[in-house]
Structure 1
Amino acid sequence: MDLGISGRYALVCASSQGLGKACALELAKAGCTVVINGRDADKLEAVAEEIRAATGAIIITVAGDVSLAATQSALISAVPQVDILVNNNGGPPYRDFRQIDRAAMLEGVTGNMVTPIELVQKVIDGMVARGFGRIVNITSGSVKMPLSGLDLSSGARLGLTGFLAGVARSVAHANVTINFLLPGSFDTARQTSGLSKKAADRGVDVATVKAESEAGIPAKRFGEPSEFGAACAFLCSAQAGYITGQSLLIDGGAFPGVL
């Protein structure tokens, strides 16, 4: 399927691995020039070479913490214009809410709510003026089904969703859409790290913990990053102009609700 975005400029935050990388790859396959981002410059360049080799697309790297103003400016100035913005950032670690002090709360809200809003502020007027824009915010399945220990992540991402819900309606007339992708359990390095910690805490092997986790998902498996990337690319497509303000949960059926 031709997504109708060949030649567009895409900015994908936190895209040196995992779901961000998968989104960058799919947008490159669709013909976009893609700016990728991560904190490790060497790792980022290796990923850029991988995507270039796989797609032939122009891939531009901007290393740095996306929460910092200097990194945001570098990302946006790396291309003539931003047609597609994929907001992504690492979430706060598992922690009992009693252990979260004010500094940690502010850091979590800055990373998972304030930072994506700042980037939206920087690109949205240009999108409106040109009559095309696609903004996809990677949040979490915990927005629909909050998990104990991820309270800060859930709260910050819920705040982002609520904040941008009205913004999405205010720019829809200009063919600018804002949507949210909510991942459940995916086969990523972050997932593997979490499984390893659980296995160590219980004194069992990782395979046991993984099998137990997959058994609780109706699909009976973790998602593949490529599946997530494909969903992101569609929401960025020319054909998705009538989809806005929506939260798409991708979790293999794990969430038991209907909304």
Structure 2
Amino acid sequence: MACAASKGWGLGCTRAVASEGVKVVIVARGRDVLEQADDALHALPGAGEVRSAVADIVTPQGRTDALAACPQVDIPINNTGGPPPGDFRQWERENWLRALDANMLAPIELIRVSLDAMRAQRFGCIVNITSRCGEGADRHPRPVQWRARRPHRLRCRAGTQRSRRQCHDQPGQFATDRLRGNFAAIAQQQSSTAQDVAERKRAGIPARRFGEPDEFGAACVFLCSAQAAYITG
């Protein structure tokens, strides 16, 4: 089950997994864009069964609806988009609570209800797509860093007795709507343009380009595969 899978990282991961013949359920809030993603996944060569569920996993009802569409989750791909851009000094209590709900508590709930079935069948891989954003002590305000709530860096944790692995994927800068929205927010703060911000960011990347969601998806499907069974740390 892939969350926020109608576009961006979530769709990139789902395309890669579905192409391997895995049965997938994609979850997102927007019906129209989710239906487009569903159609595109069905058209993939070698794709397995594809279903979709319109749901907001941040809410209890949304999680119930998502799990109704996918009662047994062998590979949950948790992805909630990260915190909104802005200066954390301007955030009120409600902003913090909403961000924690979306980016920590919702994934924890999905993992909690999926874990027993994984242990019983001695198979499972939990993928958490995490945020690399932080509020820096420099002149460029960025989204708040969530080290307390979301594991950072790329890590896998394996349990030999329980036969399940947990992977935390911290994406770099990939060409997604999320990234473009962040550039627009930074540009507004700096009286610049989103294009100027993008060019500065691109210049700092060794490859001199932004990543593509399908490239991230390829890394995700590898970490879920038998070939990566010994990746730990």
TM-score, normalising length: structure 1: 0.79
Tell me the distance in 2 between the aligned counterparts of 1:179 and 1:54. 25
Match of 2:30 among 40, 57, 69: 40
- Please tell me whether residue 149 in structure 1 is matched to residue 139 in structure 2: no
- Please tell me whether residue 24 in structure 1 is matched to residue 2 in structure 2: no
Identity of aligned residues (%): 38
Q: Which moved more, 1:78-87 or 1:102-111?
A: 78-87
Q: Which residue of 1 aligns with 2:219?
A: 231
Report the CA distance shift for 1:206/1:150 in structure 2 as closer, same or farther (over 3 A).
closer
Q: Which residue of 2 aligns with 1:173?
A: 161
Q: Which residue of 2 aligns with 1:211?
A: 199
Match of 2:210 among 209, 222, 231: 222
Tell me the distance in 1 between the aligned counterparts of 2:191 and 2:150. 37
Tell me the distance in 2 between the aligned counterparts of 1:92 and 1:24. 22
How far residue 216 of structure 1 moved from its aligned partner, in angstroms, is 1.1
Could you say which structure has the higher helix fraction?
A: 1
How far residue 202 of structure 1 moved from its aligned partner, in angstroms, is 4.9
- Alignment-mate amino acid for residue 216 of structure 1: G
Q: Which moved more, 1:120-129 or 1:85-94?
A: 85-94
Q: Which residue of 1 aligns with 2:60?
A: 69
Q: Aligned to 1:174, what secondary structure does the other structure show?
A: coil
Report the CA distance shift for 1:212/1:90 in structure 2 as closer, same or farther (over 3 A).
same
How far residue 98 of structure 1 moved from its aligned partner, in angstroms, is 1.5
Instruction: Please tell me whether the aligned partners of residues 177 and 243 of structure 1 are also in contact (alpha carbons under 8 angstroms).
Output: no
Name stretches of at least 5 consecutive residues in structure 2 with no aligned partner. none
Report the CA distance shift for 1:141/1:22 in structure 2 as closer, same or farther (over 3 A).
same
Tell me the distance in 2 between the aligned counterparts of 1:175 and 1:240. 13
Report the CA distance shift for 1:194/1:150 in structure 2 as closer, same or farther (over 3 A).
closer
- Alignment-mate amino acid for residue 116 of structure 1: P
Cα offsets for 1:5-44 (capped at 9, x unmatched): xxxxxx0011111000100110000111111011111210
RMSD of aligned residue pairs (Cα, Å):
2.2
Name stretches of at least 5 consecutive residues in structure 1 with no aligned partner. 1-10, 247-259
How far residue 225 of structure 1 moved from its aligned partner, in angstroms, is 0.8
- Please tell me whether residue 121 in structure 1 is matched to residue 109 in structure 2: no
Match of 1:131 among 119, 122, 129: 122
- Alignment-mate amino acid for residue 72 of structure 2: Q
How far residue 199 of structure 1 moved from its aligned partner, in angstroms, is 4.0
Tell me the distance in 2 between the aligned counterparts of 1:109 and 1:54. 35
Number of aligned positions between the proteins: 225
- Alignment-mate amino acid for residue 76 of structure 2: L
Cα offsets for 1:102-160 (capped at 9, x unmatched): 11111111110111011000001100110100001000223xx6645322xx22x5423
Tell me the distance in 1 between the aligned counterparts of 2:20 and 2:176. 23
Cα offsets for 1:202-253 (capped at 9, x unmatched): 5555433322210011221111111100011111112222234x5xxxxxxx
Match of 1:107 among 88, 91, 98: 98
